[in-house]
Structure formats: structure tokens, C-alpha cells
């Protein structure tokens, strides 16, 4: 079984995508076929060749992009609307038709309104109108005929073709030409705006450089050929040298040099150098992150003032940026429930309208003796009104209202470090009423930090900076720098931040007493660091015994320090709350999420400390993974729609149990992106309120667009039945509404990260 993935060009509306999908599905051997209008990607599986699929696409009047991203002919530029219009034959014909219809519009439609007779002969005006109809309508007629003969269906193009030909039949030449020109321009405008929305995602690729500076050996060095038996290949005398190569040629394990201000070409690990790196294109973080040897970096990030040597960690096709783009494009292909409903509605809507229009044209004249044709210039016959209904019935505005909003929301989220895995998850998040959080790595940093240093000789009672406390930290660091324990790393990091890491030389003869203490020699003194329980049986420390016990009850881990059998003090270490957690949770409460619950396997004291710090509404501690799943299910029964936020790996069962699983990114970005429905690419909970507001804004926009489309359709429908409208006014209203809902959807591309718009929450259904 073959699988082909093609990029389709020339589509102007979602109806085009459905027509191509159904036409390709009719090919012999096709087992599955799907075409996403949002991404223009056609996926075909079955015993059918790529060439057969391309031939069918072209038979239907569209084209396929080549592998280098250029269309096989006339791929339209997207730099400006008029360039877009002139870049394709079909849209250029619409422009020409617009020029031909101008005499009829001015002399036959506008001048009579103000009581001025046309100076041009009616035959000339009619000839120009018919020429405009034929020019602008040629692609429409052709598409309608292909849909009828290949797909055996009546679509939007067929509606407009019937209406235009019917208008010619009753002598409304100018209206026939004007209807077709406005429809063609409206379709082109819809295609242009959707292309702009697609470009918002693909523009992410522009943040990655095309070339990189790599360290490689000199090959076939002319300066040293023949020296000491050197006959070619890598030069043993030159060593590694800087070479500029395409990013696609880089191999995993090679070393690239990134100079100040350059973009990092590949995912990797810093070998040497230190700098601040702007990761906003990937994670959405607004502040550059300090990086040093051993830290991971992402392709597309912008290097700051330092020179970095980076070991390439992944090939270009598999770096974080490429995965983000693939996942976002895949997300655009997953239709939300609202969008699926609109698509199903549109399938039955068009045939139903044709039937209604036929009844409008036949029933009044047949049963009530009403005029079929126009009896006089001031009265509309029922055939004309039926043709108006066909024009009004064009569902373009309704069909485009949902996908353009979802694609804009997904693109905005990706630019700001929030990766939605599908339109369905945008809709689900908007309905959330309760959010459950894992503690470690989500509400906290996930790594221990020093919370307090308390020397037995402290003169300030720990309330102010103290020389004795600094000395205690420095002495403990001399021991702990020989340990790989997470608590030891927390002590060393605090000493480095305070400039105390080198006050004492590294300890000698360090010995770990598993689970109890670590002992070593510092400047001839035997220094011991151990637990509170260990010190109770070795070194008296009544002075701080109650304080250490209080620290334990508060969820801290007290590290007791002694030297030569004398108690010196303690260092309290704990997993610190993530910066910004409290503010993020406060914003969620302001946005109407009433239940913010912490689910953790830690003890109650530790959970209570973090919960009080960040401001959750409920705490559940000592939970096993299955307990977290049951807690999420209970929340769903109580609130309906629940989100779970975790690290994307350890909390996978709870993430799956929630309506929407949200994974934290950071160092685990690759795993997080693969695990949950939504990934926060940076270790910033501030992105969660933004994601919630963005999802609610998207659904609010969709509801407004659908309501606007239907209400205006009904209004024009009523006007047409009463005989008070005209065909060109009907199509102008349809084009106007399509443009309005499209621009309204595109507004989501610019929703700011810190927006405090009060979007009314979507009510669960």
C-alpha cells in the first residue's frame, strides 16, 4: 500500500478542499483520502500511484506543489492581495472580469438610482456584462462541471453558475456579470486570507539559519600534500578549522560555533562558552536565559554576547523547531467538534437550498398564479427571487468561520510557546472549570533549593545576613561539592550564587554513610553533614533541635553540619515554588477557574507548604499514580471539564484521564510535546492563563462568526423572498460576510500574551 502526501495549490475555499478530497477518493485503489484546507496537505493511502493522484487533482482544476515548495505552475505569491490576484490565471481572469463589468455597474446600476439615463446603448452594456460573466466565470463554470461529472455532486460553484445563467435567461445581464465577478473576487480573497494564516505557521521556519559554522578537518590540504607521507584526506597538520556549510549537511556529534547575535542552527549541548540565549522563537520566554557548558540549546534561538561551541544533538529534520511545525500542522488537520458540525451541515445545506430555490420558482406561479418572470421593471418575478436565493445560499462565510479562527489561535499559541495538538483541544480547554496540578516540576522547580542557613553562632537569629552563616555554607560546600546528591547540588548552587564556593578548598577523604551522612576533611577538620535523626545520636544540638523539627514539619529537609564533634548549625533545603506560579494561579481564578487542586505523592507537610505558597484551592497528598487518576475522574464527575497539568511523563495516566492534558516543557520538551494534548514549551506557568484566554477567545470568535453568518443569510433570504433585493447585492453581502468573519478570525493571530480581555467562558455542553 502506497502513501502520498501532497501540497495542493489553487484552493480558494473549504468547498474546494472537499471537492478534491471526494474526487481523489473515487480513484480505483484509494483506501483513505483526507485533505486539510487549513494546511493544504492531501494524504492518500492505497494501491494508487502519486502520478495518478496528481492527474486527478489537475483534472479537478487544481495543482500540486513541487518538493522544493514551488507550484508546478503559477504558484501565487502572498506578499500582497493584488499580486496574489495577478499571480494565478483564475484570479487574473476575475480582475479582467471586474474591469469589463464597470460600464454596466456605473451606467446600468448606479446612474438609474439617481434618475440619470445611461448614455451608452444597452447592447454595449449587455455585451460587456456577458464578457465579464464569461471571463470571471470560466473557472467557476469549469469547476462546477468537473464536480458534477467527476464527483457527481452540486457544490457552491454550481449554485453560482445556475444563478448567473438564469440571470442571463431573464435578461439581467449586468447582474449576471456582477454576481460572477463578486463571487470570483470573494473566493480569491478567502484563499488569500487563509494563505496568510498558513504563512503564520510556516514563517516559524524562518527563525532557523540556512548555514552554520562547523569545525571540520581540512580535506586534501594542498599546503601539506606530500609532507611526511600525507597523500590526501583529512590533513593531520591543520587540525580542525571553521567551515560554512548548509544546516542540512550537519551531522550529529559535530561541533558548531555560534558567534554573538547569530541564531543557533541545531538542537544540541554547549561544549564551551557562556552566553544569554533568547529562546522566544521556541519557548515564548520573554527574557533571555543564561546558558553555560552542559546546557541544552534549541535551533532557532538567538545567541547573546558570548561565543558558544555546541555539539549537534539531532539532525535538522528532527530538531525541536521542525517537530513543533510538524505537530502544529498536524493539529490544524484535526477538526474541532464545532468545525465537524459545520462541515456536516454544509454537506446537506447546498442541495437543500437548490431544492428550496426550485420550489420558490415553481410553487407560487403554479399554485397562486404569481408571475414567473419580471412583469415590469419595478416588480420581481419568482424565478428572479429563486436565483437570488441561490446566491444568498452560498455557505462560504459559514464554512470559513471556524477553521480560520482555529488556525489563527493555534499559530498564535505556537509563537508564544503554547503548542495545541489539535483544534479539538482548543475547544475543550475553553470549557475547563477545574485544573489539577502535579507538584514537583509543575508548581515547583523540580529541584531542591536552599531555603535557610542557620549557624549555631548566628547573632541575627537568621533574620539578616550573617558572617557566621556564610561561613557555615562555605564549609558545607567544601564537602557537598564531592557529592552528586540533589541536596548537595542545591548547597553548592547557593554558595556559587553568594560567591562563597571557593572560600574553603575541596574536602579530602570524603566518605558517604548511605542514607545518613557524608564525612570529609577540610583544612584538617573533620566535617560531617547529616540528617536530623543522625545528629540526635552523634552530636548534641539542642540549640536548634526544635527549629530543625519545625523545618521538617514545614516540608524542608534540614542538613545538620558539625566539625570535630561540635555542632555548627543547619541548612534547610526544599523544592522551591516555581517563580510566577502564584501569579498564574491567581489569573486562572480571575478567569473563572474555581477549582485549582494539587495532586502529589509527597507528604502532607511538604504539599501544604507549596500549596500555601502558590495559592491552590485544595491539596491532596500521599497519592500513588492510580490515586491521581481517580482524583481526576472524580473532578470530571463534579465539574464536567477538567485539565491536568504535569511533566508529561510521570503523570501520563492522569493526563490521559483528564479532558485535556497539559505538559510542562523546559528540559523535557521533546517528551512533553509527544505526551499531552497541549504543551507549554517553557517552564513558565504564566503560559497557562494565556492558553486558557486564547482558547476562550477562539471559541467566542467562532460563535460570533457563525451567528453573524447565519443571521445575515436569513436577513438577505427574507429580503429576497419579499422581492426587495437584487442578485448582486446578495452576493456582495455574502462576500462581505466572508471577509468579515475571516478578518475577525485572523484577529486571534495578534492576541497578546498578557491580554486581560474578559472573554466569557464557554458553557459546557
- Kindly report the three-state secondary structure assignment for every residue of 571-629: EEEEEEECCCHHHHHHHHHHCCCCEEEEECCCCHHHHHHHHHHHCCCEEECCCCHHHHH
φ, ψ dihedrals at 384, nearest 5°? -60, -45
Q: Is the CA virtual torsion 222, 223, 226, 228 positive or negative?
A: negative
Nine-digit cell string for 417? 510557546
Q: Grid cell 557537598 — which residue?
A: 480
User: How far is 622 from 401, CA to CA, in rounded Å?
Assistant: 47
User: How far is 327 from 601, CA to CA, in rounded Å?
Assistant: 32
Nine-digit cell string for 165? 445563467
Domain-embedded: residue 329: no
Q: What is the 3-state secondary structure (H, E, C) of 175-214?
A: HHHHHHHHHHHHHHHHHHHHHHHHHHHHHHHHHCCCEEEE
**Residue 299 sits in a domain of what CATH number?**
2.70.150.10
Domain-embedded: residue 725: no
Domain-embedded: residue 252: yes
Q: Give residue 79's pLDDT.
A: 46
Residue 460's SS3 state is coil
Residue 276's SS3 state is strand
Domain-embedded: residue 345: no
User: How far is 720 from 59, CA to CA, in rounded Å?
Assistant: 36
Output the CA–CA distances (angstroms, integers) from residue 429 to 323, 378, 661, in the order listed: 23, 54, 9
Residue 348's SS3 state is helix
**Residue 573 sits in a domain of what CATH number?**
3.40.1110.10
Q: Grid cell 564551551 — which residue?
A: 272
Q: Give residue 95's pLDDT.
A: 87
Whether 641 and 433 have beta carbons less than 8 Å apart is answered as yes
Q: Give residue 311's pLDDT.
A: 93
Whether 158 and 123 have beta carbons less than 8 Å apart is answered as no
The C-alpha torsion from 346 through 350 and 352 to 354, rounded to 10°, is: 170
The answer, as to whether pTM is greater than 0.85, is no
What's the burial of 756, exposed, middle or buried (CB within 10 Å: 0-12/13-18/19+)? exposed
Show the domain range for 43.
Answer: 2-75
Q: Give residue 204's pLDDT.
A: 57
Nine-digit cell string for 183? 463571487
Beta-carbon contacts of 271 under 8 Å, excluding residues fewer than 6 positions away, are: 255, 293, 309, 310, 311
Q: Give residue 300's pLDDT.
A: 83
Domain-embedded: residue 163: no
Last residue of a domain, one of 543, 577, 611: 577
Last residue of a domain, one of 292, 318, 344: 318
In 378-440, beta strands by DSSP E: 418-420, 434-438
Q: Grid cell 522544493 — which residue?
A: 68
Residue 270's SS3 state is strand
Which is catalytic among the residues 438, 471, 647, 734? Answer: 438
Q: Tell me whether residue 438 is one of the annotated catalytic residues.
A: yes
Q: Give residue 675's pLDDT.
A: 66
Domain-embedded: residue 675: no
Last residue of a domain, one of 32, 47, 75: 75
Tell me which residue of 473, 484, 482 sits closest to 507, measured CA to CA.
482
Output the CA–CA distances (angstroms, integers) from residue 146 to 41, 57, 158, in the order listed: 21, 11, 10
User: How far is 451 from 230, CA to CA, in rounded Å?
Assistant: 61
Work out whether strand 444-455 and strand 525-530 pair parallel, antiparallel, or are unpaired: unpaired
Domain-embedded: residue 166: no
Beta-carbon contacts of 530 under 8 Å, excluding residues fewer than 6 positions away, are: 513, 516, 517, 518, 538, 559, 560, 562
Whether 504 and 494 have beta carbons less than 8 Å apart is answered as no
What's the burial of 678, exposed, middle or buried (CB within 10 Å: 0-12/13-18/19+)? buried
CB atoms within 10 A of CB 619: 18
- Angle (deg, nearest 10), helices 337-368 and 396-415: 170
Domain-embedded: residue 124: no
User: How far is 564 from 374, CA to CA, in rounded Å?
Assistant: 112
Mean pLDDT of successive 10-residue stretches along the chain, which has 765 residues: 83 77 89 80 89 89 67 43 73 87 80 71 87 90 86 78 84 83 79 67 63 85 75 77 86 91 90 86 70 87 90 83 69 59 68 83 87 70 84 74 82 84 87 91 83 83 77 92 82 89 89 79 90 75 72 80 88 85 92 91 83 92 84 92 81 84 68 72 85 94 89 85 79 79 85 57 42
Into how many domains does the chain fold? 3
Amino acid at each position: 500500500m502506497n502513501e502520498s502526501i501532497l501540497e495542493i495549490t489553487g484552493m480558494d475555499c473549504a468547498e474546494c478542499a472537499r471537492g478534491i478530497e471526494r474526487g481523489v477518493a473515487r480513484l480505483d485503489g484509494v483506501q483513505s483520502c483526507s485533505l486539510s484546507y487549513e494546511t493544504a496537505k492531501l494524504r492518500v493511502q492505497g494501491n494508487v500511484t502519486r502520478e495518478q493522484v496528481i492527474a486527478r487533482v489537475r483534472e479537478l482544476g487544481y495543482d500540486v506543489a513541487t518538493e522544493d515548495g514551488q507550484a508546478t505552475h503559477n504558484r501565487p505569491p502572498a506578499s500582497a492581495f493584488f499580486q496574489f490576484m495577478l499571480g494565478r490565471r483564475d484570479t487574473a481572469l476575475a480582475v479582467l472580469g471586474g474591469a469589463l463589468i464597470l460600464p454596466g455597474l456605473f451606467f446600468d446600476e448606479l446612474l438609474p438610482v439617481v434618475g440619470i439615463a445611461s448614455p451608452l446603448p444597452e447592447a454595449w452594456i449587455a455585451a460587456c456584462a456577458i464578457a465579464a460573466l464569461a471571463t470571471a466565470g470560466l473557472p467557476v463554470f469549469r469547476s462546477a462541471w468537473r464536480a458534477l461529472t467527476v464527483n457527481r455532486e452540486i457544490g457552491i460553484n454550481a449554485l453560482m453558475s445556475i444563478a448567473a445563467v438564469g440571470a442571463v435567461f431573464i435578461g439581467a445581464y449586468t447582474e449576471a456579470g456582477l454576481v460572477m465577478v463578486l463571487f470570483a473576487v470573494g473566493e480569491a480573497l478567502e484563499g488569500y486570507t487563509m494563505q496568510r494564516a498558513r504563512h503564520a505557521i510556516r514563517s516559524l521556519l524562518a527563525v532557523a539559519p540556512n548555514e552554520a559554522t562547523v569545525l571540520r578537518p581540512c580535506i586534501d590540504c594542498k599546503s601539506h600534500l606530500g609532507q611526511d607521507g600525507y597523500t590526501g584526506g583529512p590533513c593531520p597538520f591543520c587540525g580542525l578549522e571553521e567551515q560554512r556549510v548548509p544546516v542540512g549537511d550537519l551531522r550529529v556529534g559535530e561541533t558548531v560555533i555560534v558567534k554573538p547575535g547569530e541564531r543557533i542552527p541545531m538542537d544540541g549541548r554547549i561544549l564551551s562558552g557562556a552566553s544569554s540565549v533568547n529562546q522566544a522563537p521556541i519557548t515564548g520566554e520573554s527574557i533571555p536565559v543564561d546558558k553555560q557548558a552542559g546546557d541544552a540549546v534549541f535551533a532557532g534561538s538567538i545567541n547573546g554576547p558570548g561565543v558558544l561551541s555546541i555539539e549537534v544533538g539531532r539532525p535538522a529534520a528532527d530538531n525541536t523547531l521542525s517537530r513543533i511545525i510538524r505537530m502544529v500542522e498536524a493539529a490544524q488537520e484535526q477538526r474541532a467538534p464545532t468545525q465537524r458540525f459545520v462541515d456536516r451541515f454544509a454537506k446537506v445545506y447546498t442541495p437543500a437550498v437548490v431544492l428550496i430555490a426550485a420550489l420558490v420558482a415553481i410553487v407560487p406561479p403554479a399554485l397562486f398564479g404569481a408571475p414567473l418572470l419580471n412583469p415590469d421593471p419595478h416588480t420581481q418575478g419568482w424565478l428572479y427571487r429563486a436565483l437570488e436565493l441561490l446566491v444568498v445560499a452560498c455557505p462560504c462565510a459559514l464554512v470559513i468561520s471556524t477553521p480560520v479562527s482555529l488556525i489563527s489561535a493555534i499559530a498564535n499559541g505556537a509563537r508564544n510557546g503554547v503548542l495545541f495538538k489539535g483544534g479539538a483541544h482548543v475547544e475543550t480547554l475553553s470549557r475547563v472549570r477545574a485544573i489539577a496540578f502535579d507538584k514537583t516540576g509543575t508548581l515547583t522547580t523540580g529541584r531542591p533549593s536552599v531555603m535557610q542557613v542557620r549557624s549555631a553562632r548566628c547573632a541575627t537569629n537568621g533574620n539578616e545576613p550573617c558572617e557566621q552563616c556564610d561561613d557555615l555554607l562555605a564549609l558545607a560546600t567544601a564537602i557537598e561539592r564531592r557529592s552528586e546528591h540533589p541536596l548537595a547540588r542545591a548547597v553548592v548552587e547557593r554558595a556559587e550564587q553568594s560567591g562563597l564556593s571557593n572560600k574553603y578548598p575541596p574536602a579530602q577523604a570524603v566518605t558517604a554513610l548511605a542514607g545518613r551522612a557524608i564525612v570529609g576533611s577540610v583544612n584538617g577538620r573533620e566535617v560531617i553533614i547529616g540528617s536530623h535523626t543522625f545528629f540526635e545520636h552523634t552530636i548534641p544540638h539542642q540549640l536548634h533541635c526544635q527549629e530543625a523539627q519545625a523545618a521538617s514539619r514545614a516540608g524542608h529537609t534540614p542538613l545538620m553540619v558539625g566539625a570535630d564533634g561540635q555542632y555548627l548549625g543547619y541548612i534547610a533545603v526544599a523544592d522551591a515554588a516555581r517563580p510566577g506560579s502564584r501569579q498564574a494561579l491567581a489569573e486562572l481564578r480571575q478567569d473563572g477557574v474555581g477549582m485549582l487542586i494539587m495532586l502529589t505523592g509527597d507528604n502532607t507537610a511538604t504539599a501544604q507548604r507549596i500549596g500555601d505558597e502558590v495559592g491552590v484551592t485544595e491539596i491532596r497528598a500521599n497519592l500513588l499514580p492510580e490515586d491521581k487518576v481517580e482524583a481526576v475522574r472524580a473532578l470530571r464527575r463534579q465539574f464536567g471539564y477538567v485539565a491536568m497539568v504535569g511533566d508529561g511523563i510521570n503523570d501520563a495516566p492522569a493526563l490521559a484521564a483528564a479532558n485535556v492534558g497539559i505538559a510542562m516543557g523546559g528540559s523535557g520538551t521533546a517528551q512533553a510535546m509527544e505526551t499531552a494534548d497541549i504543551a507549554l514549551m517553557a517552564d513558565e506557568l504564566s503560559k497557562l492563563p494565556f492558553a486558557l484566554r486564547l482558547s476562550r477567545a477562539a471559541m467566542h470568535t467562532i460563535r460570533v462568526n457563525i451567528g453573524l453568518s447565519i443571521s445575515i443569510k436569513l436577513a438577505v433570504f427574507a429580503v429576497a423572498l419579499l422581492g426587495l433585493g437584487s442578485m448582486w447585492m446578495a452576493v456582495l453581502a455574502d462576500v462581505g460576510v466572508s471577509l468579515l468573519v475571516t478578518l475577525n478570525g485572523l484577529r486571534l493571530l495578534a492576541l497578546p500574551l498578557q491580554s486581560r480581555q474578559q472573554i466569557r467562558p464557554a458553557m459546557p455542553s
